[in-house]
Amino acid sequence: MGNLLGFCYKSETVLQKEEDTKPVFSWDKREDLDPADYCFEDLDGVTRGKLPGQINGQQFSIENCKDCILFVLDNVASLTIDDCTNCVIFIGPSKGSVFIRDCTDVKLAVSCQQFRTRDCKRIDTYLHTNTQPIIESSVGMKFACLQINYLHLADQVKSSGLSLFNNEWSNIYDFTPVEHNSNFSLLPETAKFDTYLNEEHISSVSNSNKVAFSSHNSLFPLTVGTHNRDGFGKSALLSVFLGQINDYVEVNKLLKTVQNCECRLRRSKETKMNTDTVIRIYGESERSQNFSKFAKDGPVIGFEVEGDIDTLRKTLPSPQDVLVYLSTDTTSSKDINNFFNYVDMTMST
C-alpha cells in the first residue's frame, strides 16, 4: 500500500516543475480582445477614428453607419463594410480582402490585397489593390488611384505584405455587366479624396499623424490606368533593378524626375526575374548580364511612362546602388508588351 501511495502521490514541487515545462502555444499567449474595439457599428452623423497601433493587423468591420466620417490609420487583416449610407471612410492597409455589401453613396479610400463589392450603389473608391477589383450587382461605381501618406503608413504596408507598385485599381472586373452601359467608370486624374472632408475632419486626423492626400508626397505612385489612351506623348518602359537595396528611396527619386519632366505613369508592376526572363524581355547583351546579376538579388520594378520621353532620357539620374533602364523609341512598344505580359502571366498562375 505504501508503495502504491508513493507512486500516486506527487509533491507540490514536482507538480510545479511539470507545469513549468509544459509547452506554450501561440494561442495561449494571445491576449483577450474586445470585439467592440474592432468595429464601427450603428453610428449616425459622427466622426470616429482609430490611430496607429490600435488595430495591429486584426480584422475590422463597419456596419449600419449613416452620414459619418470614419477612419482607421492602422493596418487590418481584412475589412467588411455593410449597410452604410452617405459615409466617408478611410482604412489603412488590409493584408487580405475588403468586401463592401449593400452600401450607398459612400466615399472610400483603401489599400488591400483584394477588393470586392456586392449590391452597392454610387461608391467612389480611391484604391490601391494588388489584384483585380471585382464588382457584382453594383451600379454607379467610380474608381481612382489612391493617393495618401501619413506617419507609419510605409511600415503598415510592409507589415501587410502589399506591393506599392502592383496596383490594379483601374482593371475592374464586373461579374454582372449590363448591355449598352457600364456599371463603373474612372474618376478624373485630378480627383482628390480630401474634397469630401472639411478642415475639422482633416485636423482631427492630421495633427499628430501628418495625413496628406496629395500626389506629390503620396506613398503610392499615381498611375492613370490603361483605359482611354489620349495621346499624352511617347511611351517607354522604365525598369528599376533594386538588387540588394531593401527600400524604395531611389525609386521615389526617379519618380520625382518623371513628374518634373511632364511625364506620367500609366501602370507599374513589381516582379522577380531569372536570367532567362531578363534575356527574353530585354534581349541578350552585356547589359542584360548586368540586369541578371541585380535581378538575382532583388525585385524588378517596371513603369509604363508616357509624355516628354526625350527630356526624361536626358535628365534621368543613374543611381550607384540600382540599375535603371529606359527603352529607346524603337524598342519601347516591344519592351512594354514583353514586361507587362510576363508579369500578368506570372501573377495569374
Give the pLDDT confidence of 78-123 residue by residue, as tens digits: 999 999 999 999 999 999 999 999 999 999 999 999 999 999 999 9
Reported as a single tens digit per residue, the pLDDT across 38-57 is 999 999 999 999 999 999 99
Q: Is the pLDDT of residue 10 over 70?
A: no
Cα 19 to its chain centre, rounded Å, is 45
At residue 202, the pLDDT reads: 66
- 317 vs 92, higher pLDDT: 92
Q: Is the pLDDT of residue 235 over 80?
A: yes
| Percent of the chain with pLDDT strictly greater than 90 | 68
Question: Three-state SS across 140-152?
Answer: CEEEEECCCECCC
Q: What is the mean pLDDT of residues 156-169?
A: 95
Count of other CB atoms within 10 angstroms of residue 95? 18
Backbone angles phi, psi at 216, to 5 degrees: -70, -30
69: pLDDT confidence band, cut at 50, 70 and 90?
very high
Query: If you average pLDDT over every residue of the chain, what do you get?
Result: 88
Q: What is the mean pLDDT of residues 57-63?
A: 96
- 35 vs 1, higher pLDDT: 35
At residue 9, the pLDDT reads: 47
Cα–Cα distance for residue pair 34/294, rounded to 1 Å:
47
Query: What Cα–Cα distance (Å) separates residue 272 from each residue in 4, 219, 276, 292, 344?
Result: 67, 21, 12, 11, 12
At residue 11, the pLDDT reads: 55
Q: Which of 163-167, 230-234, 259-263 has the lowest mean pLDDT?
A: 230-234
CB burial string 28-37: b at 16+ within 10 A, e below? eeeeeeeeee
Cα–Cα distance for residue pair 160/153, rounded to 1 Å:
10
At residue 168, the pLDDT reads: 96
Q: What is the mean pLDDT of residues 211-220?
A: 87
- 339 vs 26, higher pLDDT: 339
5: pLDDT confidence band, cut at 50, 70 and 90?
very low
Q: Is the pLDDT of residue 187 over 70?
A: yes
Reported as a single tens digit per residue, the pLDDT across 320-337 is 788 999 999 999 999 999
186: pLDDT confidence band, cut at 50, 70 and 90?
very high
| Cell numbers at 276, concatenated | 532567362
222: pLDDT confidence band, cut at 50, 70 and 90?
very high
Query: What Cα–Cα distance (Å) separates residue 265 from each residue in 189, 253, 301, 308?
Result: 11, 14, 13, 12
